Amino acid sequence: MPELPEVETTRRGLYPHLVGRRVTDVVVRRAKLRWPVAEELQTVLPGQVVNAIERRAKYLLVHTAAGSPLLHLGMSGSLRVLPAAVKPELHDHVDWCLDNGHVLRFNDPRRFGCQLWQAPGTLHPLLQDLGPEPLGDDFSGRYLWNLSRARKAAVKLFLMDQRVVVGVGNIYAAEALYAAGIHPARAAGKVSAERYDRLAAEVRRILAYAIERGGTTLRDFISPDGQPGYFEQELFVYGRAGEPCRLCGGAVRSVTLGQRSTFYCARCQR
């Protein structure tokens, strides 16, 4: 599933192509995605000018005066800006027709993505109860330490809880814990304030660097310009079970936490 860096890469890639453009029509070829495509995309969005594109967690909000489409890429979705003459392919489910002869095309083979609607002055239910942004001012080691006291859940699951902090998915949680030297299965309440300071710093560093590198392409993610993300080439533990640790040479191990595979080095992470 695309994580925060992939979604932020998508937002930045779309920005110059959408902001200031008028949506002239919306073509829905398949309305049944994870949730049905919101009716407002066809009844309200046409005629509106895109004022801004915002990312909240792993969602994109495309702001217009009449409201904001709320987009999620799901597990396999992608958004591309293409000439309108390019014929749609099998999994091209939604087109936003733009006033310059291009379309914003949503492709989603697994149909776990969404195109919903947030009315002006409201907050969509999917955005309620979310934690702070990991690259924002409200996120810090002290914040994590305060929230983790007495928690018995594994620190990796704690870090991936969207109510704690948004957008830190499986890949980047594993990489940040490795960089901070923290074993992913350690109880969140047993991690010291000092180590949480380091973990928060590594989360920030790794996410920022992954955004610079265009995200991580493992299966389906491509940016709006069609280019893959390159951070995959620099992963230290994720997906490397049985391979040597890049720091100590010991074997990278894998364990299942919360029904997700996680990867770690038993020598480097305590």
- Tell me how far apart the alpha carbons of residues 102 and 7 are, in angstroms, rounded to a whole number: 21
Q: Which whole-number Å values give the CA distances from 78 to 75, 104, 254, in the listed order?
A: 9, 10, 29
- The amino acid sitting at 81 is V
130: which residues sit within 8 A by CB, 6+ positions away? 56, 57, 162, 163, 166
| 83 has catalytic annotation | no
Residue 110 in marked binding region: yes
Instruction: Calculate the dihedral angle through the C-alpha atoms of 162, 139, 215, 267, rounding to the nearest 10 degrees.
Output: -90
| 3 has catalytic annotation | yes
Q: Are 164 and 146 in contact (CB under 8 A)?
A: no
- Tell me how far apart the alpha carbons of residues 9 and 103 are, in angstroms, rounded to a whole number: 19
From the list 21, 58, 80, 105, the catalytic residue is 58
Rounded to 5 degrees, φ, ψ at 231 are: -65, -25
From the list 111, 246, 260, 267, the catalytic residue is 260
Residue 91 in marked binding region: yes
Rounded to 5 degrees, φ, ψ at 262 are: -130, 155
| 260 has catalytic annotation | yes
Residue 183 in marked binding region: no
Q: Which residue's entry shows tokens 């409200």?
A: 138
| 87 has catalytic annotation | no
- Tell me how far apart the alpha carbons of residues 214 and 230 are, in angstroms, rounded to a whole number: 6
- Tell me how far apart the alpha carbons of residues 72 and 145 are, in angstroms, rounded to a whole number: 30
Longest dimension (CA), the chain: 59
Residue positions annotated with a catalytic role? 2-3, 58, 260
Query: Which residues carry a binding-site annotation?
Result: 91, 110, 151
Query: Which residues carry a binding-site annotation for DNA?
Result: 91, 110, 151
